[in-house]
C-alpha cells in the first residue's frame, strides 16, 4: 500500500480497498492502519535518520525502502521492542529481496532519533509550507497535529445514534451538531452505514455546509460538489440541492451514495470556469484546493506539494468565486470554503473577491470550532482530529426598493 503511494496513489482508498479484502482481525486492522498512516506521515524524517546508514538509498528497491521506513517507525515512534520490530521486517526483506536482508537487519538495529534535525524535517513537512505557516499565523505548534492518528469521523443522520448503540459501537459527539467520532476500524461493516444513517466526513467539512444556513424548501447550489457529501447533509435538512462538478465519475459515485443515504440531490456536470444558467438564494463553493489542511488523513500530499501548485489553485479559486458570485440571487448568501491553510487560497482570495464584487459584504463566522486565525474569514485549527479549513461567508445586497 505504501509503495503504491510513491507511485501516485492515495493511502486512504488504497488502505480501505486492501483491508476490505483482508481476513485481519479488528485489532490487526487497527494496527495496520496506524502503522501505514504513521509511517507515511513521518516519511521525510524517517528518510533523514536512515540516510547516514545507507550509501545510496535511492538505489534500493522500493519495497526495501518502505521496509526500512516501517521498521524505523515501529522502533522510534511506536516503541515496539527492538527484537520484535527488527525481526518482523528482516523476515519480510528475506522474501522481497533476500540479498538485502542483512542490510535491513544492520540498519534497523542502529537507527536512532536525531534531535538536531531541522524543525520541518522533524515534522515531515515541506520547508516552504512550514515557513509560510510560521509567518502567516505567527505560530507553528498546530502543525505537529498533522502527525497524529486520524480519527474516524462521521456525519450522523436521524436515527444514527440509536442504531450505533444497538450495535454496541462506541462513539462520542463531535464538536458540532450532527458529527460523531466512532471507535471502530471497519465502518462499512456496520449496519448503521449500510442503512444510510452515517457518512464518513470530518466535522470541519460538515461545518462548511452548515454555514449555508439553508431553510427547508430553499434552493441551494453546491458548486464543485464532487460526490455530493455536503449536498447530502443539505438535502437532509430539507433544502432542494443542485450539485455541480466537472467530474461525472465522482457524480455517479455520489448518486450511488445518495441512494444509500436516502437523500435526493440533482447532479449537473459543468465547468465552473464558465457561468451558470441559474441562480439561487444560497450558494456553497467548496473549491478545489491544495489540501494543506488534510495532511493528517492524506499524508501523501505533503510530499507532492509545490509553491506553484498552490498559486495555480489560488488562480482557479478566484475564477470559481466569480462564477459563484454571479449565481447568488440579490439578498442571498455565498459560502466559500477550502480545506487548505494558506493565505493565497484564503484571505488573499477573499480580499480580491471583495474588490471585484462590491455588492457582497462579509458575514461573521460563528461556531464552536477552534480557530487558528479569525480576521477576514476564519481558519480552523487542525487539532483534536479536525481538518484545517478556511471559510468566508458573504451576503449579496438586495435589489433597491422601487421608488
Task: Report the 3 state secondary structure along the chain.
Answer: CHHHHHCCCCHHHHHHHHHHCCCCCHHHHHHHHHHHHHHHHCHHHHHHHHHHHCCCHHHCCHHHHHHHHHHHHHHHHHCCCHHHHHHHHHHHHHHHCHHHHHHHHHHHHHCCCCCCCCHHHHCCCCHHHHHHHHHHHCCCHHHHHHHCCCCEEEEECCCHHHHHHHHCCCEEECCCCCEEEECCCCHHHCHHHHCCCEEECCHHHHHHHHCCCCCCCCEEEEECCCCCHHHHHHHHCCCEEEEEECCHHHHHHHHHHHHHHCCCCEEEECCCCCCCCCCEEEEEEECCCCCCCCCCCCHHHHHCCCHHHHHHHHHHHHHHHHHHHHCEEEEEEEEEEECCCCCCCCHHHHHHHHHHCCCEEEECCCCCCCEEEEECEEEECCCCCCCCCEEEEEEECCCCCCC
C-alpha cell at position 323: 462564477
Using CA atoms, how far residue 176 sits from 76, 180, 185, 370, 377, in Å, is: 35, 9, 23, 11, 18
pLDDT digits (tens, 9 = 90+) for 360-388: 999 999 989 999 999 999 999 999 999 99
What pLDDT score does 33 carry? 92
Per-residue model confidence (pLDDT) at position 78: 92
Q: Which three cell numbers stand for residue 275?
A: 457561468
pLDDT at site 403 = 61
Main-chain phi, psi angles of 139, to 5 degrees: -160, 170
Residue numbers annotated as active site? 339
Say how many residues make up the chain.
403
Provide the phi-psi class of 26: left if phi over 0, else alpha when psi is between -120 and 50, else beta.
alpha
Domains and CATH numbers, the chain: 2-122 (1.10.940.10), 155-159+199-396 (3.40.50.150)
Residue ranges in the chain modelled with pLDDT below 50: none
Vertex 69, ends 64 and 74: CA angle to 5°?
125
**Of 370, 284, 361, the residue nearest 330 (C-alpha):** 361
The DSSP bridge pattern shows strands 390-396 and 360-363 to be antiparallel
CA angle 152, 153, 154 (to 5 degrees): 125
Tens-digit pLDDT profile for residues 198-248: 999 999 999 999 999 999 999 999 999 999 999 999 999 999 999 999 999
Taking a C-beta distance cutoff of 8 angstroms, is the pair 395, 333 a contact?
A: yes
Closest CA to 279 of 327, 336, 212: 327
What is the pLDDT at residue 65? 97
Cell of 369: 470550532
User: What is the pTM (predicted TM-score) of this model?
Assistant: 0.94
Amino acid at each position: 500500500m505504501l509503495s503504491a503511494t510513491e507511485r501516485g496513489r492515495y493511502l486512504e482508498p488504497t488502505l480501505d480497498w486492501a483491508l476490505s479484502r483482508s481476513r485481519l482481525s479488528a485489532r490487526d486492522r487497527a494496527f495496520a492502519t496506524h502503522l501505514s498512516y504513521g509511517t507515511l506521515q513521518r516519511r521525510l524524517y524517517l528518510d533523514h535518520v536512515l540516510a547516514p546508514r545507507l550509501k545510496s538509498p535511492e538505489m534500493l528497491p522500493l519495497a526495501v525502502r518502505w521496509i526500512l521506513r516501517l521498521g524505523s517507525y515501529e522502533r522510534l515512534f511506536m516503541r515496539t521492542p527492538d527484537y520484535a520490530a527488527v525481526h518482523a521486517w528482516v523476515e519480510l526483506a528475506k522474501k522481497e529481496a533476500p540479498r538485502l536482508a542483512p542490510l535491513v537487519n544492520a540498519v534497523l538495529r542502529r537507527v536512532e532519533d536525531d534531535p538536531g534535525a531541522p524543525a520541518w524535517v522533524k515534522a515531515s513537512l515541506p520547508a516552504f509550507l512550514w515557513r509560510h505557516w510560521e509567518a502567516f499565523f505567527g505560530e507553528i505548534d498546530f502543525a505537529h497535529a498533522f502527525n497524529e492518528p486520524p480519527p474516524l469521523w462521521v456525519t450522523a443522520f436521524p436515527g444514527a445514534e440509536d442504531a450505533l448503540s444497538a450495535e454496541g459501537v462506541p462513539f462520542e459527539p463531535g464538536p458540532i451538531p450532527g458529527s460523531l467520532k466512532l471507535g471502530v476500524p471497519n465502518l462499512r461493516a456496520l449496519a448503521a452505514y449500510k442503512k444510510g444513517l452515517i457518512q464518513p466526513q470530518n466535522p470541519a467539512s460538515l461545518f462548511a455546509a452548515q454555514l449555508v444556513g439553508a431553510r427547508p424548501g430553499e434552493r441551494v447550489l453546491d458548486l464543485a460538489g464532487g460526490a455530493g457529501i455536503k449536498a447530502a447533509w443539505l438535502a437532509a435538512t430539507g433544502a432542494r440541492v443542485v450539485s455541480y462538478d466537472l467530474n461525472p465519475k465522482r457524480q455517479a459515485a455520489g448518486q450511488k451514495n445518495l441512494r444509500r443515504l436516502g437523500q435526493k440531490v440533482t447532479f449537473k456536470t459543468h465547468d465552473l470556469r464558465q457561468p451558470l444558467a441559474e441562480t439561487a438564494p444560497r450558494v456553497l463553493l467548496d473549491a478545489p484546493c491544495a489540501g494543506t489542511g488534510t495532511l493528517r488523513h492524506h499524508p501523501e500530499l505533503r510530499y507532492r506539494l509545490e509553491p506553484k501548485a498552490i498559486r495555480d489553485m489560488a488562480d482557479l479559486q478566484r475564477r470559481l468565486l466569480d462564477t459563484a458570485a454571479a449565481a447568488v440571487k440579490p439578498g442571498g448568501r455565498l459560502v466559500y470554503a477550502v480545506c487548505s491553510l494558506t493565505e493565497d487560497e484564503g484571505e488573499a482570495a477573499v480580499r480580491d473577491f471583495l474588490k471585484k464584487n462590491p455588492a457582497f459584504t462579509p458575514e461573521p463566522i460563528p461556531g464552536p470550532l477552534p480557530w487558528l486565525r479569525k480576521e477576514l474569514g476564519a481558519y480552523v485549527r487542525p487539532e483534536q482530529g479536525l481538518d484545517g479549513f478556511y471559510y468566508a461567508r458573504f451576503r449579496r445586497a438586495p435589489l433597491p426598493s422601487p421608488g
